[in-house]
Structure 1
Amino acid sequence: MTFRTRFAPSPTGPLHLGHAYSAILAHDMARASGGEFLLRMEDTDLDRCRPEWEAQIVEDLTWLGLTWDGPIFRQSDKIAAYNARLEPLADRGLLYPCSCTRADIRAALSAPQEGVAFAVYPGTCRHRPMADRRPGDALRLNLAAALDALPENPSFVETGPRHAGTHLIDRATALAQIGDVVLSRKGEDIVAYFLASAFDDADQGISHVIRGKDLFDFTPVQVILQRLFGLPTPTYHHHRLIRDDQGKRLAKRDDARAIVKYRADGATPQDIRRMVGL
């Protein structure tokens, strides 16, 4: 099997040192294995994503000396397709409409952040049939029914330094820690980060997902979705995080750590590699 991985930033701000570490690590692992490295823009948040940020990301990655195979993939081109692919789950009775707080639903659709677990939904709308779906309703996965539909508890292989090994997704733990996640919201063309990513990893033939350890706890829901749709499960590698002097994970609000600013100050790509410990 060809080693194929991807770097999948959201173009909502500048790349920082943490992004550089993740991109370089994935790129170098792919090249060392004679494999492929893809670039995917996870730009389903149409309110926050900007073409100028995508252009900056491409410029920074090129400056770092990274090359990718094939054209840039953009999730915003496939939002309708993502939603259409939910129909088999609805036909199997595994989805239900939810009219709970819009702010809560939008937050549930966002890419996860370190230290923020799934807010386990109490099941307020679980009794509602799909025929009762109204404009503005979200679609939630009935996790208990979904797990019952699987022939066995799903699992995934992790090669990262902290969680290496095979991880079995326990039913009781999944129900207690994940719950009925939001998959999409009607009328706003929004799909969940982990749903779009699961489809794209399969469609692009991704064999290894290389990303920060802050996303480790979100892997089980992606694996469950892969099993429900009959998609392959990649091998996962959740790497260490690059932190500031206070130990906080870098985020896009940390403009002082933006790659473009290091470039302006005269840093070289080799300097960036040394800064992140590569």
Structure 2
Amino acid sequence: MTPRDASQPRIGVRFEPDWAPERLPEFARWAEAAGFDELWFSEDLPWAGGIAMAATALAVTDRIHVGLGLLPATTRNVATAAMEIATLARLAPGRLSIGLGTGIPSWMQEIGADVPRRFAALEETAVALRRLLAGEEVTVDGHHVHLDAVRLGFAPEQMPQIVLGTTGPLGLRITGRSSDGVLLPEIATPDAVRWVRDEMAAPEGSGRALLLAMTSLGDDREQALAEVRTRVQRLVDFRVFDRLTEIAGMGADGSGELTDEILQSLAVAGTPEDGARAIAGWAEAGADTIILVAGADDPIASYQRFADDVFPRIGR
């Protein structure tokens, strides 16, 4: 496979939250061998722990970048989270990204981690985490984060990338001033990427745009689209990504029709040629990383089809 042009977005795959953790070592090695740049997974209740998963993936691979996103900002003390993240960043320099989010409210309520000011907690956690990882002594008495002269004993030499999972104007402003960029859910069109980059108003060198994209590829376009449509529609029906669904053309309430054209603007779906066009669209909009999410019934086959038939079409 041709090495990735630095101007192209990085391409990753996601290990699904409900896959048994013992599958991770083999999957991580496979993803690296297949030529993917990144491997991501989230920490969703009640599945596998994200820090342990990241450590495992880094330990069994040599090159692939590992991303943990999203890690709920309120489920760990930021100092102990920084200790874990710093350890991973020292053991695998330059190969780690951390995505922070507010967490699904119902899940946070179930475990007593819900807070009244979720975005304040997210920003305080992101800022404190970055300062701790930079080796600073941190004292803060915020709404959520409380630290008294805390400094890590083993700060990493290379700062891991820290991104936030937000989609609204307030969250994106927080993202732009307190992190390296944003991780978008699986309904982000190229126009959404452009809007997000504008909303972040990030300083030069930051404001990266990472996105998740469901994938279903095959020789039969209609069959491939049908396989992924239900999964995308399920996300739309959550009614929590109003700006993204509006930009996609389905209205702020997501009640509009998920047409083939809209579906192919926010998923790597259809023929391999369609998949290559989707990647090119996001690249032109300024996406830095595209993380494929299994949208078909056989995830490995779907990812392998991308590696075999889309990588060559995008110069890889």
TM-score by length of 1: 0.32
Using CA pairs below 8 Å that are at least 6 residues apart, which structure has the higher relative contact order? 1
TM-score by length of 2: 0.29
